[in-house]
Chains A and B, each alone.
Chain A
Amino acid sequence: EVQLVQSGAEVKNPGESLKISCRGSGSRFTTYWIAWVRQVPGKDLEWMGVIYPGDSDTRYSPSFQGQVSISADKSISTVYMQWSSLKASDTGMYYCVRSAGNGRLDSWGQGTLVTVSS
């Protein structure tokens, strides 16, 4: 079973950039898709996008296309989510998770809390 460990909580000002990470264990990290899921405080889960670390093939939800950038470094079994200019509305908890198909998101990171406030 894969284990995903995310980077720590971040507090940023609006307009700043940010890159958070999700490191996977196991030699098969490059053979499965890793998705990012957001939960804004008091709101529902949102599927943001997904990447295949083996070749960095990336797909985005229309709601998040152009708002964030997902990348991967397979040499260190890590995927990233990046913002170039944060907004207060980006405040939330961000989870990375293995996506195995058939509705199966089965190994979750612990979450990274991002707070954007002036």
Chain B
Amino acid sequence: AIQMTQSPSSLSASVGDTVTITCRASQGIGNDLGWYQKRPGKAPKLLIYEASTLQIGVPSRFSGSGSGTDFILTISSLQPEDFATYYCLQDHNYPQGTFGGGTEVNIK
């Protein structure tokens, strides 16, 4: 089974900062990767799919890059509503999927 290793597990940042979160797949997955935001009490929200395609309605300060085994989510100019937990998901063997371990973005 494909494993997803996400790092860091948590980070502290200030409003206006740029943060990067990485996900590494245990084997090549092409660009079959999505990024999700999870806030307490809310359903997860799709931010990026196909590794770098911004979901409709998601602010452009979110961006994704990578292919194969290494992927990055970048949040530019962090906003108060961006403090949340972020997850990557791979579904290279679609329809089966695996989430990464999550990255909690906290206020410094």
Contact = CB atoms under 8 A, between A and B. Distances in A.
Interface of A: 33, 35, 37, 39, 44-47, 50, 52, 59, 61-62, 95, 97, 99-106, 108-111
Contacts of A103: 31-35, 48-51, 88-91, 97
B87 A105 contact: no
Interface of B: 1, 31-36, 38, 43-46, 48-51, 53, 55, 85, 87-91, 94-99, 101-102
Contact of A104 (B1, B50, B87, B102): B50
A111 to B, nearest CB: 6
A102 B43 contact: no
B99 A106 contact: no
A45 B95 contact: no
B64 to A, nearest CB: 9
Nearest to B89: A103
